[in-house]
Amino acid sequence: MTSLPWLTVLWLVPAVGAIAVALLPAGPGQVGAVAESAGQDRRQGRSLQAGVAVSLVTLGWSIAMAVAFPGSPGTRFGLTESHRWIPAIGARYELGLDGVGLVLVLLTTALVPLLLLGAWHAIDASQGDPRIYVALTLAVQAMVLLSFVATDILLFYLVFEAMLIPMYFLVGGWGQLDRALRARAALKFLLYNLLGGLIMLAGVIGLFALTARARLGEDGRGSFGLSEITAAIADGKVDVGGPAGLAICGAFLFAFAVKAPVWPLHAWLPDAAVAGTPSTGVLMMAVMDKVGTFAMLRFVVELFGDTAKEFAPWITVLAVVSIVYGLLLAIAQTDLMRLIAYTSISHFGFIVLGVFALSPQSQAGAALYMLNHGISTAALFLVAGFLTSKHGTRSIADFGGVQKVAPVLSGVFLIAGLATLSLPGLAPFVSEFLVMIGSFGRYPVVAVVATIALVGSAVYILWTYQRMMGGPAGPGVDRIGDLDRRQRVVLFPLIAALVVLGFWPRPALDAITPAIDHTLRSVSVAPPPAAPGHAGPTLVEPPQGGHR
């Protein structure tokens, strides 16, 4: 427990900032409900400047919080807060930050100011008020940050669902597609995720009923507290086994698989990711969707333990199907932005595989992959967005010879593309390697198929680069300018992060490993088979007393 409310301030700054930006005066240049061009530019600039300022304050606070975060391996949550909330049902305002949450918090707070800068000329004021765009972006950030630190299950569920609303309006409100297509994509996104959330709600109610039967919480009315429930499960007071436990665990897992997204629950992502602005697509794929994979670690593996282990073989199969499916669909795309969206389905498959391979290396790799995928996807999607906005088309066939007229843009595109295929020396390689070696001992066939799929990823990246950047210039390509100063400010930090984490991932792994060790203590799994005469690495202690 700390006297300074680090975690509350973390999400409250962007939440209050969203309200403040939405209430900014419209400013000069208004003619009725529509601003003149100069007025639009001033209003958009003022809104985005305010949003960037709020997001930079949030970033500064998260960095200070990371410095204050204790590095003791024996500490489950380095920073915590707990207050009475709804005592009648045992719900508390409980927050806790571990190492996995910390790296995702830093990813979120670092990306949002870059995304707002990247959206500077992508927001068409004729589609909606720029103030609302910025406010909705900050609202999503606030809810995502709260989801990474919420340890009361009811509180987590509420923000898990609430973040859908601002994202729905971001997808449907601004973008290059026409209004009807954006509205259809936004509705599809909302319906899929609401379905997952409703099924999770049934699981939340079922879990609360089990805790009430065990007389947990204030006055024995039941509890939503993650730490209290996991302790009660370890002591045998709450049983999450049997048909009831499987149903509750399955409900949680279904909701998180929709958010992740895992095949066959992925169908909403490609449409939603490309319907909005590129910054909105990155906010969805690189930030919001990480809530699903993060929750698999925290609320499925850690909370349900051996019950989650029963789902593991099936989920790993779905994960490898996602890897191969995303790869094949990416190769078949003619739309550049949809190609990148399908690559994310493949990458999420690797993350889910790492989570449910249930080994120290695979889960550490999965947690690190969440960070690295966020950076690489942001770089690739944003540079692709800059490129397509300059040329006015997203069709790969309409490009060619871009490297002759925009060498810096082409170079950034190449580095970001090589990162998505996990080139050694760039950040995703380390995380993907950890997932593979951690999965091979437990599910060798799945790991081999996933490894072979890595070779295919070179096809869609290098082939796309060759068609777009090399060869003779396509019609109108000569009018594409290179990256301007603002676009370089957005992209260069992402490229630098890919290189630094590619050669020095230790700070992130040092933060992640203690949390992973604690999670795996909840699962009674034997270590993967070791080579003859070698005991194999052990990063976690075996479960005591064979609980669960």
Residue 165: its pLDDT value, please?
94
Question: Does 28 have pLDDT greater than 80?
Answer: no
Q: Structure tokens of 390?
A: 């300059």
Contact criterion met (CB below 8 Å) for 322 and 179: no
Judging by beta carbons within 10 Å of its beta carbon (0-12, 13-18, 19+), is residue 25 exposed, middle or buried?
exposed
pLDDT tens, 469-521? 887 777 777 788 888 888 899 999 999 999 999 999 999 998 898 888 888 87
Q: Is 32 exposed, middle or buried (0-12, 13-18, 19+ CB in 10 A)?
A: exposed
Q: What is the mean pLDDT of the chain?
A: 84
Q: HSE (CB half, 13 Å, CA atoms) of 244?
A: 11
What 330-335 contacts at long range (C-beta under 8 Å, 24+ apart), as own/partner pairs, is 330/460, 331/456, 331/459, 331/460, 331/463, 333/396, 333/460, 334/395, 334/396, 334/397, 335/274, 335/394, 335/395, 335/396
The CA distance from 137 to 401, in Å, is 35
Q: How confident is the model at residue 548 (pLDDT cuts 50, 70, 90)?
A: very low
Q: What is the pLDDT of residue 540?
A: 40
With contact defined as beta carbons under 8 Å apart, do 140 and 17 qualify? no
474 or 204: which carries more pLDDT confidence?
Answer: 204
> What is the DSSP-derived secondary structure letter of residue 482?
-
Per-residue pLDDT tens digits for 354-372: 999 888 999 999 999 999 9
d(CA 290, CA 294): 6
Give the residue among 343, 345, 330, 342 at the shortest CA–CA distance from 293: 345
Q: What is the dihedral of CA 232, 234, 238, 242, to 10 degrees?
A: 160
Dump the DSSP string for 192-230. Answer: HHHHHHHHHHHHHHHHHHHHHHTT-SGGGS---BHHHHH
Q: Which amino acid is at 294?
A: F
Structure token digits, residue 547: 């609980």
Contact 401, 479 (CB under 8 A): no
Please report which residue ranges of 69-178 form alpha helices under DSSP H: 99-118, 130-149, 153-162, 164-173
224 within 8 A of 168, measured Cβ to Cβ: no
DSSP state of 93: E
Give the model's pLDDT for residue 65. Answer: 93
Label residue 193 exposed, middle or buried (CB < 10 Å: 0-12, 13-18, 19+).
Answer: buried
pLDDT at 135: 94
Mutual orientation of helices 360-391 and 99-118 as an angle, nearest 10°?
0
pLDDT band at 42 (very low <50, low <70, confident <90, very high): low
Distance separating alpha carbons of residues 510 and 495, to the nearest angstrom: 22
Structure tokens at 227: 């730490």
From 115, 189, 114, 102, select the one nearest 145 (Cα to Cα): 102
Strands 79-86, 91-97: pairing kind: antiparallel
Give 397-411 pLDDT, tens digit per residue.
Answer: 888 888 888 889 999
Contact 306, 523 (CB under 8 A): yes
Whole-number Cα distances in Å, 348 to 370, 374, 420, 517: 8, 11, 12, 22
Average pLDDT (109-132) is 82
Top-confidence range, 202-211, 300-309, 329-338 = 202-211
Using the predicted structure, report yes or no on whether residue 457 has a pLDDT greater than 50.
yes
- Measured between its terminal Cα atoms, the distance across the chain in Å is 29
Burial 323-360 (b: 16+ CB within 10 A, else e): bbbbbebbbebebbbbbbbbbbbbbbbbbbbbbbbbbb
Report for 233-242, 250-259, 461-470, 519-528: range of highest mean pLDDT: 250-259
Chain-centre distance for alpha carbon 190: 17
Q: What is the pTM of this model?
A: 0.89
pLDDT digits (tens, 9 = 90+) for 69-88: 886 555 678 888 988 888 88
